[in-house]
Structure 1
Amino acid sequence: MATTSFPTERTVVVTGAGSERGIGRAVALRLARSGWSVAALDIDEAAAQRTAREVGERFGVPALGVAADIADEHSVDDAAARVEAELAPVVGIANVAGVSSPVPFLELTTQEWDRVFDVNIRGQFFVTRRFMQGMVDRGIGRVVSVSSASAQRGGGVYSKVPYSAAKAALLGMTRALAREVGKNGVTVNAVSPGPIDTDIMGGALSEERKADMVADLVVDRVGTVDDVAAVIEFLLGPDSGYITGATYNVNGGLIID
């Protein structure tokens, strides 16, 4: 049964929160500024703890940095147990963690295909399933997953077939899950970034690479992590309760639909 009140004491789980140049860290900081407690999950425990420490010091909210390999079900369960024991109830999930793959299709190995799907879709399944029951039971929740313009246009940004396929699967998961849990007060949405200056693009972008990417855009710059984090913050917040099953393009006009 859905509830109409948005809880004051609430936790957001952010995967991939450890990278200093990543969307996950930007999301964690924005949500902390809005009063959320933050569970920063990352495969790099030290990096997750750095993000949590920064969140706590800057915004004075409870924060926890936890090691989690989201492609490993048991690792996710262990991390979730700590989050639920030490922080307020989980109301939001930001599925940000992901890996890229620029390998051409005819050079792909099965191992590379599985690696990309394990993190980019299997991991989102493990994390979302683990925290979803609590959201349904309490009648309130927000899930936002990071897909990619590559899923919509068939690559052509940096990564190739396995990344595009996994991120497209994530859009299908988002829409189907939104239908299942909407009556329980839980919304499920996706953001689809275009070229963003993060390390998932193969490292820091040179000015030459930025210029090449901008040539395909309507706006005259490559995106920043805060461009994406701002939309995620809105979709996780109290004003987005009538939006679900949607994909928000944050791509500078790379795709207009």
Structure 2
Amino acid sequence: MTLNFFKRVASVVVIGMMTVALSGCLYPKDQLTQNKLPPKDAILTVQAVVDQYQKDTGLLPILNSTPETPLYEKYRIDFEKLQQMNYVSDIPATAYEKGGSYYYLIINEETDPTVKLMNLVLSQKVNDIQASVKAYSDAHQGKLPTGKSVYPDFTSINYDNLNLKEPVLQSVFTGQTLSTIMDAKGNVYLDYGIDITQALNKLDSGKKPDDKQDLRELLVEHSDLVPVKSPIYRLKNGEPQAMLK
């Protein structure tokens, strides 16, 4: 084999590597990471640490929140405290604190503290829509870009008024496209009605929830994720309905 042959092989390898690298650059970072879940062992490890911390201290390693903080954003894990007290040597790479795309949260904090994840890419997309709605309202004497009625307390958003194309927001539970909804104050949410309907259809007839249960529990029960930017859902005439309280 000649030297020229090896040079040609090396050139092919380099070009191939450049093609792979460039193909990654063709996609926005949020598209690459939106549905990339952390390894299951990372979640299980954090759960074990939280359990041990609570056993040792009688407390949960969570950051302070306010009464206004939404339920599925409320109890973020305080990794800095866990590091300072030598409960963890390193923070998971997928955590926000390490530049990752997830908040690590605790739900069922009083009865069965359980580690779940909040998708920050999806959350930020909703925040961007929220900013556009506020800018429109500020420029139109408080008027909102209201679309059609979706639930008694919510409407769709008229994206034509915002001069925006309606975004494609993918559910972390089913992969389906989620719609955005808005309350009378202009607060923007994701509508998980389709996801919840699917979860209800999988239940045995004898296990149907009552009309007081928050149906979002059906989504988190069999997932490591929480419903980002979601309203409360309860059964109304046998169908899931988004509610403000």
| TM-score normalized with structure 1 length | 0.25
Larger radius of gyration: 2
| TM-score normalized with structure 2 length | 0.25
